[in-house]
């Protein structure tokens, strides 16, 4: 489905939380590439890739997300780390794409959404914590109205991280224009070991995928700035939610727009999905 460029009107600018350490550079700042959505918006895929600090080994990871459940598709993520001094980054990326290709083809993933925000802040101090935008209704394609995305951080502890009060979890919330909550897209109650030792977070990419006769799919890619070998490393978390209708439609009741069920990829970063019937970790 072609996406009208007028569907989204960015209504405000990014706001950056001040007061963080000025030397908070990302030593291993992963980059990202958006693969796209399935034709119905039910699935979304993106890739992160880079060179590890310390080892200088190239890596690439492909994440495929069920947007209604905010869970990884079975078999995802597809991870490649080439532990060789002669290995090249393009080799790692090619291997990761090849590993994911069967699923990407089966789900027909490749259609592009509408980009609301896309920034490449490799420094924690420049990471965006807030963005406001408008997604209007357009005929049978329902929008979101004027909304705001906000990241707030809170102190958490995790065994194996010797950074004490510097460790952070986060909450990602969608709000209306006055700041009233519409949906909590993610909330950390603990830090999963696979996320490492995170110091902070930022909004790196926001995309919507409009759908005829219902509300859009909203995807937020959050940067994770974590303690690494040579400083702060950056990795990404994809968080998705789907709307049956415009959540600010007067006819929409709170019960009609509950938070997406189940553990999110953010809560299970770098953690494989169990086979059907197996107990969840």
Contact 133/109 with Cβ under 8 angstroms? no
**pLDDT per residue as tens digits for the range 30-50:** 999 999 999 999 999 999 999
Q: What number of helices (H) and strands (E) belong to the chain?
A: 1, 15
**pLDDT per residue as tens digits for the range 50-93:** 999 889 999 999 999 999 999 999 999 999 999 999 999 999 99
Entry pTM: 0.81
Strand partners, 25: 123
Contacts of 237 (CB under 8 A, 6+ apart): 221, 222, 224, 265, 266, 269
* Domain positions in the chain: 5-30+112-256
Mean pLDDT is lowest, of 5-14, 125-134, 153-162, 219-228, for 5-14
Pinpoint the alpha helices (H) of 9-119: 89-106
**pLDDT per residue as tens digits for the range 143-168:** 999 999 999 999 998 888 887 778 99
Q: Beta strands 26-29 and 232-242: pairing type? A: parallel
> What integer pLDDT is reported at residue 194 of this predicted model?
79
> What integer pLDDT is reported at residue 133 of this predicted model?
96
d(C-alpha 183, C-alpha 172), whole Å: 9
Q: Where are the beta strands (DSSP E) in 30-113?
A: 31-37, 43-51, 58-66, 71-72, 78-81
């Amino acid at each position: 489905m072609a996406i009208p460029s007028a569907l989204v009107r960015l209504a405000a600018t990014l706001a950056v939380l001040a007061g963080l350490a000025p030397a908070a550079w990302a030593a291993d700042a992963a980059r990202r590439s958006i693969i796209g959505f399935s034709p119905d918006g039910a699935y979304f895929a993106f890739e992160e890739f880079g060179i590890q600090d310390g080892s200088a080994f190239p890596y690439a990871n492909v994440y495929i997300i069920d947007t209604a459940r905010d869970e990884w598709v079975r078999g995802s993520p597809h991870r490649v780390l080439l532990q060789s001094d002669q290995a090249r980054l393009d080799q790692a990326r090619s291997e990761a794409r090849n590993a994911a290709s069967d699923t990407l083809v089966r789900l027909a993933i490749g259609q592009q959404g509408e980009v609301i925000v896309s920034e490449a802040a490799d420094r924690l101090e420049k990471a965006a914590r807030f963005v406001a935008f408008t997604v209007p209704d357009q005929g049978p394609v329902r929008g979101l109205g004027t909304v705001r995305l906000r990241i707030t951080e809170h102190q958490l502890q995790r065994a194996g991280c010797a950074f004490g009060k510097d460790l952070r979890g986060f909450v990602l919330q969608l709000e209306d224009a006055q700041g009233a909550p519409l949906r909590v897209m993610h909330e950390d109650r603990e830090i999963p070991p696979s996320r490492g030792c995170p110091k902070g977070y930022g909004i790196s990419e926001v995309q919507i995928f409009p759908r005829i006769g219902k509300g859009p799919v909203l995807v937020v890619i959050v940067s994770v700035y974590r303690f690494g070998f040579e400083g702060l490393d950056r990795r990404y978390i994809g968080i998705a939610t789907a709307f049956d209708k415009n959540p600010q439609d007067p006819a929409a009741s709170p019960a009609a727009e509950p938070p997406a069920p189940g553990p999110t990829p953010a809560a299970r970063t770098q953690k494989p999905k169990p086979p059907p019937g197996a107990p969840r970790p």
